[in-house]
Structure 1
Amino acid sequence: MGAVENRETVRRIYAAMAQGDLTAFGGAVHPDYVWRLAGHASWSQRFEGQEAVRSRLLKPLFALFATQYRAQAVNIVAEGDFVVAEVRGDVMTRRGDRYNNEYCLVFRFRGDRIAELVEYCDTDLIERVLGPYDTAVAPG
């Protein structure tokens, strides 16, 4: 696939996520894809493979939310196998706090699917609103 097709894949993902539909993302990733949260906060980790991303990141993260998570792409740029998306999230936590992080997401494609996602965001907001990773994702 080329940059135009890769950009369209990311556009479709965020068009769906703006409506609260998270399924488009799952269908666009390789089974062995990597999600890395950049930075030096407790959430700044590397998750390898769909199962690890789902069980160690997404499932516990979404359990913290009281409302449907929505995300909207503000800007999308693509070149070669890479797509960069500026994204704004919107959700309320179960504790009643707004968690509206802003992201710069770098997607690397292999063929027609996402092989790697690197997330840059406000890690201070994550720690303040969601808490430290180990505490936030602990079964409760």
Structure 2
Amino acid sequence: MSQPPEQSTTEINKHVVKEFIQAMGRSDGKTASACLAEDAFTLAKGFGQFAGVREYDTIVGTIDAFNTLLPTGLRPEFVSFTAEGDRVVVEFEGNAETCDGKPYHNQYCMVFTLAGGKIKQVNEYFCTKTADEVLWPLVEAMSSQIP
């Protein structure tokens, strides 16, 4: 993971988050894992199959599985970045085609908390109905491949 030279902690944190989301979009678990603290976790808010907590191994395993699940990549289109201290909030849209040829379009807002230049926590907000309808059957079928 590359870090821009001589920037504020807030700017470095924004860079780390952007690099993480871009790695997620291209199913690059190695780069994504370099952005995460070893005790990192995500908390998908809301209801449905995707709601809940996922820890480091599952985060990285899921990102690696995206190349099977979403062969076109998630292709994140950033809408906004807001950062203050150790928190970065990102709005983006994800657009992909699933492995069974269905379009997947969703909007995301993620609240990242970082420490020492690494992501510690991610609160995820997205349309769980869309994710459940389009992605969950595919995720369930490949669940043995995700830690």
| Category of TM-score, reference length = shorter chain | 0.7 to 0.9
Structure 1: distance between partners of 2:26 and 2:49: 27
Distance in 1 between the 2:67 and 2:41 partners? 19
Distance 1:137 1:46, change over 3 A: farther
For the residues of structure 2 that align with 1:30 and 1:139, how far apart are their CA atoms?
A: 25
| Structure 1 CA distance for aligned equivalents of residues 98 and 27 of structure 2 | 18
Instruction: Evaluate the alpha carbon distance shift between residue 44 and residue 8 of structure 1 in structure 2; reply closer, same or farther with a 3 A threshold.
Output: same
Deviation, structure 1 residue 82: 0.3
The separation in 1 between residues aligned to 2:66 and 2:18, in whole angstroms, is 23
Amino acid at match of 2:11: V
Residues 28-47 of structure 1 aligned to structure 2 (within 5 Å): 28-47=35-54
What is the Cα-based RMSD across aligned positions, in Å?
2.7
Residue 130 (structure 2) pairs with residue 135 (structure 1) = no
Contact 2:88 2:111 in 1 (8 A): yes
Residue 97 (str. 1) matches residue 93 (str. 2): no
SS at match of 1:40: coil
Alpha carbons of 1:12 and 1:61: their partners in 2 closer, same or farther (altered >3 Å)? closer
What is the SS of the residue equivalent to 1:86?
strand
| Change in 2 beyond 3 A, CA 1:4/1:62 | same
Query: Would the aligned equivalents of 1:102 and 1:122 in 2 still touch at CA under 8 Å?
Result: yes
Which stretch of the first structure deviates more once superposed, 127-136 or 38-47? Answer: 127-136
From the superposition, tell whether residues 122 and 79 of structure 1 become closer, same or farther in structure 2 (CA, over 3 Å). same
Q: How many residue pairs are counted as aligned between the two chains? A: 137
Q: Does 1:73 align with 2:78?
A: yes
Name the structure with the higher helix share. 2
TM-score computed with the length of structure 2 as normaliser: 0.77
| 2:61 is the alignment partner of 1:26 | no
Using the aligned pairs only, state the percent identity: 25
